[in-house]
A and B are shown apart, each in its own frame.
Chain A
Amino acid sequence: MAKPDASIWRLMESKGYSRREFVHFCRFAAITAGVGVAGLPRVVEAFQSRPRPPVVWLHFQECTCCSESFIRSSHPVVADVLFDYLSLDYTETLQAAAGHQAEAALHDTMRNHPGEYILLVEGSVPLGNDGVYCTIGGRTAQDILAEAAEDAAAVIAWGSCASNGCVQNASPNPTGATPIHKLIGRPVINVPGCPPIADVMTAVVTHLLVMGSMPELDNRGRPREFYGKRVHDTCYRRPFYDAGLFVESWDDEGAREGYCLYKMGCRGPVTYNACSVTRWNEGTSYPIQSGHGCIGCSEDDFWDNGPFYRHLPDVPGFGIESTADKVGAAAAVAAGAGLALHAIVTNVRKQSEIHKRIAGSVQETEIGEGGDD
């Protein structure tokens, strides 16, 4: 490995890349970071003068799907940035070091580059029982996170686990799994999804590298560029939705015709993610294109908003299969029956009152001039 504070251009040069290849790479990075080709000079400048930032990638309660997604980025040249040209000083899954050596690498990075390293966190942090449900090297996840976040230049929460707790935080959340933005008192870039899209991940990291600043975030800490629209807004099945042509069961004619999956529980209308724009696996497809509704994997509490194959979740406290409409309809029937009964009882109980009133009322023939008004 080259000197730790060499720039990306120096590193590429030392590996035999030409200037032309370097600029080509910068163009990819500029587009990925969302600054466009017009921003190219800025990228070139950043990559040849700034030392490459060290990266610490922590893994807590997670399944590594975020890492798996990341290494399948459709712009390998950008993924290379992280693996070859960033100094990926610590990541449990991919680092060469192990045991004490690995812990030492982590501490060196934090000690030698305070305020410079980028902290990437995959997984949530369990707070239950003093954090015993996730410990590394004898320390709790909460401890490690607090220390690492202290001097980081920026913090990114990878995936739904780190952003909103994902499955381990679903009710009843036995380990007290907690998303990281609730644990550290500084802005966190949330990149939710189970996993997040590889190209979105690389774009967010590239943005940090190129611009040296956080991308624009929404009110839940997500980069607007990728989480500003719903899956539904750019879904290619949207014309069927507007037309009211829905798949009614998994093997009907509509399913074969590619109708909208709304009635099969598709969460596209309530899910903010870039799937229908960037798609997955080098832009090959995304779940809806493969015939399955969106399950809302980038939304808070998406496990608790099930069942996945129904439009609305169950009503809490009313047992399985109790949709809001069933409870509401039962209440309406009860109210209707109550009102009908009330009407009958009224006529029985108020009979004499009503009769008296009828008897006391005036016949038109009895009225003299000016009787009315």
Chain B
Amino acid sequence: MIEAAAPTYFRLYVWERPVRAFHWVNATAVLALAITGFVIGNPFRMAYAAEAYQQNWFGTVRFVHFAAGWIFLVAFVARIYWGFVGDQYARWRHYIPHTRWQWREIVEVLRIDIFQTKVSGEFSSGHNALAGLTYSVSFLVYAFQIATGFALYASMSDAWVPSLFVWVVPLFGGDAGVRFWHHAAMWFFILFTMIHVYLVFYHDYVEGRGTTSSMVGGWKFARVDTLTAPDQSDEACEPDEPAESG
């Protein structure tokens, strides 16, 4: 318990530039895709010209959706690549709980998030293990959305990439089934964004070490008095520093 003396903090560089670039490109693409996708599924009434040839807004909405879909795909593939070559915080090991320590952290974070127990355990400086797991699961949904999206897109495009996904269609019985599930999965992205942004703010609030801004500048902060030597090896799934307590 340190109350009198102000604690000193280290800066930790947790999100490399490619990770931050991915984050904001991805977030922008997802927002664009969810909004345009929603409109494609529920077009509103809009007539600003008398004749069909004079307006093209629905075509434009669809164009934005497909353009954002390409960006979404490229960013996704780049991020997966970075998961194999990036620093310890970006590595795939961080995202797939495979050590006992990670499972313990998941339980710990659940207690803090749901029962709002005191933050006293040892936290990863990068994603905590539960956050990492959530991102891996959402990456499966990303893959699903890309597969169904490009499978639908294959009938509208002569490009090579969409044609790689035509095998998806028979799995759903036809384009109608693909479209239904593609549409339903949109709600995952909406729920994810709500909860994700809330939890970023919440953890920032209760951990007090700059979680929100970390995705902008790349820095998180760790108290000198509790920081153990940061582990620079690839296997850095162990805690590298206990979180602030009280």
Docked complex Cα distance between A60 and B56 (Å): 48
Q: Which of A273-316 contact B (CB under 8 A)?
A: 296, 299-302, 305, 311-313, 315
Interface string of B16-56 (1 = CB under 8 A from A): 00000000000000000000000001110111010011111
- Kindly identify which residue among A241, A242, A350, A361 contacts B206, using a CB–CB cutoff of 8 Å: A350
Q: Closest residue of chain A to B199, judged by CB? A: A339
* Contact mask for chain A residues 347-373; partner B; CB cutoff 8 A; 1 contact, 0 none: 001100110110111100010000000
Q: How many chain-B residues does the 8 Å CB contact rule pick out?
A: 51
The residues of B that contact A244 with a CB separation of less than 8 Å are: 43, 46-47, 55-59, 61
Given A239-B53, A245-B47, A301-B174: A335 and B191 interface contact (C-beta under 8 Å)? yes
Question: Hey, which chain A residues are within 8 Å of B208, CB to CB?
Answer: 357
Report A-chain residues with C-beta under 8 Å of the C-beta of B47: 244-245
Q: Any chain B CB within 8 A of the CB of A219?
A: yes
- Complex: how many Å from CA A203 to CA B56? 37
Contact of A241 among B58, B180, B205 (CB under 8 A): B58
- Secondary structure type dominating chain A contacts: helix
A345 interface residue (CB < 8 Å to B)? yes
Asked if A233 and B155 make an inter-chain contact with CB atoms under 8 angstroms apart, the answer reads yes
Contact between A360 and B6, CB atoms less than 8 A apart: yes
193-237 of chain A: CB within 8 A of chain B = 219-220, 229-230, 233
Complexed CA–CA distance, A349 and B112 (Å): 11
B205 A346 Cβ-Cβ under 8 A: yes
The residues of A that contact B55 with a CB separation of less than 8 Å are 243-245
Distance (whole angstroms) from the CB of B111 to the closest CB of chain A: 13
Residues on A close to B: CB < 8 A?
Answer: 219-220, 229-230, 233, 239-246, 248, 262-263, 267, 269-272, 296, 299-302, 305, 311-313, 315, 324-325, 327-328, 331-332, 335-336, 339, 342-343, 345-346, 349-350, 353-354, 356-357, 359-362, 366
4 residue pairs, one from A and one from B, having the closest CB atoms: A328-B187, A244-B58, A270-B175, A242-B59
Q: A354-B205, A357-B246 are in contact. List 8 more A-B contacts (CB 8 A).
A: A269-B175, A271-B176, A299-B176, A315-B184, A350-B116, A353-B118, A356-B3, A361-B6
